[in-house]
Chain A
Amino acid sequence: MTKIDWTRLSPHLPLDGDDPRYIPRPSRGGAQLAAFLKNGMGPIAVTGPVGCGKSTELAVAANSLRLEGITTVHERLDRVMDMHSVQPQNVYARLVRALALMGQTPGVPVVPGSILFPNVPAHEPPPEGWHDRLLRLLRHLRSQSPTGRMALLIDGFEKSPVHAILDTVSFVLSLSTECEMALVVPPSMVTGPDSYSITSQVRRVFPVSPMQVRQARGNDEGAFFFRLFASRISANEPDADPLITSDLQFIVGKAAEFSGGIPRTFLQLVQDAAGYASVNGRELPTREDLLDALKDHTASMKRLLREGDVDLLHRARGTDGLEIPIDARIRLLTHGLLLEHEDANRTVTLSVHPLLDPLIHGKYLF
């Protein structure tokens, strides 16, 4: 068996839209998001708990739109600015830059300098309002697009405090008359009593949700996690067969269950179990190694709980959670401490993250 490089799991790295390691989600993935946009069903607010794959699915949607001939700008604000201290003018300047660069992409007509107004420092007001400037750019690119269509996909707003970006997001959404648009935003921006200003401007909220792994073993969601593991591990080594042992299959299956259906948590758990195996001089993780990893993760999750949260979790599980105070519900869902699942009849049921088993059941339900 090929020696496994566990660092390849890279739980912290979202994938690019054309990354061969991408495994489509059983539902609500990038292809579906792209289909909504292609059919003019935007603007769309993409949201979901941390680690669910929002950035990857947005990148996949952007790639899919490009392949359809739709001129697409995919801007990752979080890779270039501090999302805790976002200034609206920096976001606008960034979008102008992204659109201008798109104008320089081979196959896409160059944006005339008269539209760009180059060399304007981000901290200075532009010679005309940001809105009009962006409008000109979008219209120019759309008119030159082979399909006459333009899409703007923006990632990163979910990392900002809502109050700091409300006006900026609202401004960006005002441009959605000119293009198809999807923005990744924090759950609290589209849920609860203060969400009206944004939900009234979007046509659809697209939740990238945790997958239901624990309650239905061996289903599509379970298979997704095995494929996710194999794709990350065996990239560049098509002959590698990391799933060769049944012991490792057991560990991957259990890690999927305890991930709560959150891809990042799954990759972290497998990597951490492998880390403990390595510490103990083993190539492959055992049940004990995974238990040690679970304990690390449970300790991390417990730090996120506030006084009274355990009672709330007990009350919420198995219900739709509507009786839980809205602020607490959004907070617990954002962290993935509570997991929201929707069945075929669109009935929503909440469950407590399996890593909190020791608090809810007194032990891990291994």
Chain B
Amino acid sequence: MRTAATALFKALQSGRPLVVVFYEELSSRDQLISEIEILAPEGVSVERTEDIERAFQEPQRVLLLTPPNEKTALETLDGRREMLRERTRPAVLFLLKGGEAERALPEVPGLASWLQGQEIDPDELSSIDIVAERARFQEETGKAPEERLSRGSNRSSAPAPPEPPYASCAARAGRTGRVK
């Protein structure tokens, strides 16, 4: 299941140098920072900084980048992205959703290519698009969800699957699905 927590967890473990997380407002950015601190691999140093230069200097630390000028930071990271190659832990750049930096992504094709699949919009991921999910379910199973659920309720309960490794982290992060 793709959620904000699973997407963040996956991105932090990927070994790729840069992750972007979109936020709606400063308070939600602070909440996201707390969640990433929880989701970060055990024993890995996590630090918040406004100084983009540190992304080029501290490759083994998860850096949470909250630059005062996000568009300038994006351009700096694009212009010098080859110097991020040594990062073994990601720098996480926070960008205001709909802000100048997000709109500037088409101007930095190289960095945008690096970031593909590593741009996380927790608000969007936390929303459940009922129409799309219903269509997907029907396409995959050939049945309406209600029909499938009514059949499923007659079955004996199967043993619960093993708990995935991120589950406790995700539970602590407390992010739940929100219906769109």
Residues of A at the B interface (CB closer than 8 Å) are 6-7, 10-13, 50-51, 76, 78-85, 156, 158-160, 264-265, 268-269, 271-272, 275-276, 278-281, 292-293, 295-297, 299-301, 303-306, 331, 334-336, 363
Contact = CB atoms under 8 A, between A and B. Distances in A.
A276 B80 contact: no
B105 interface: yes
A278 B2 contact: no
B34 interface: no
Interface stretch (B61-69, B71-79, B148-156): B71-79
Interface string B157-174: 000001111100000000
Contact of A84 (B16, B79, B113, B165): B79
A85 B79 contact: yes
Nearest to A5: B15
9 contacts: A50-B112, A83-B80, A159-B79, A280-B164, A281-B164, A281-B165, A303-B106, A331-B106, A334-B109
A300 B17 contact: no
A245 B75 CA distance: 42
B2 A295 contact: yes
Given A79-B82, A271-B14, A279-B166, A335 B112 contact: yes
Contact of A293 (B16, B112, B117, B163): B117
Contact of A7 (B10, B14, B118): B14
Nearest to B18: A12
Nearest to A295: B2
B38 interface: no
Interface string B102-116: 100110011011111
B13 A306 contact: no
Given A12-B16, A276-B6, A299 B119 contact: yes
Interface in B77-126: 78-83, 85, 102, 105-106, 109-110, 112-121, 124
Contacts of A264: 113, 116
Contacts of B79: 82-85, 159-160
Contacts of A83: 78-80
Contacts of B115: 300
Interface of B: 1-2, 6-7, 9-11, 13-17, 75-76, 78-83, 85, 102, 105-106, 109-110, 112-121, 124, 139, 162-166
B14 A159 contact: no
Interface SS of chain A: helix, strand, loop or mixed?
helix
Contact of B124 (A272, A279, A299): A299
A275 B78 contact: no
Given A296-B119, A304-B105, 15 more contacts: A6-B14, A50-B109, A50-B110, A50-B112, A79-B82, A82-B76, A83-B79, A83-B80, A271-B16, A272-B117, A275-B11, A300-B119, A303-B112, A304-B106, A335-B113
- Name which of B9, B106, B115, B165 has the most chain A CB atoms within 10 A of its CB: B106
B75 A300 contact: no
A281 B167 CA distance: 10
Given A11-B16, A279-B165, A296 B110 contact: no
A350 B78 CA distance: 28
Nearest to B72: A84
Most A CB contacts (10 A, CB to CB) among B7, B11, B102, B115 go to: B7
Given A7-B15, A84-B78, A304-B112, A279 B6 contact: yes
Contacts of A295: 2
A81 B56 CA distance: 12
A347 B53 CA distance: 47
A335 B109 CA distance: 6
A336 B124 CA distance: 24
A11 B110 CA distance: 13
B116 A265 contact: yes
Nearest to B12: A275
Given A82-B79, A297-B117, A279 B106 contact: no
A251 B109 CA distance: 27
A304 B9 CA distance: 24
A265 B118 CA distance: 12
B160 to A, nearest CB: 12
Contacts of B2: 276, 292, 295-296
A79 B13 contact: no
Find the residue from A12, A85, A301 having the highest chain B CB count within 10 A.
A12
Contacts of A84: 75-76, 78-79
Contact of B119 (A13, A156, A158, A303): A303
Contacts of B116: 51, 264-265, 268, 297, 300-301
A269 B16 CA distance: 13
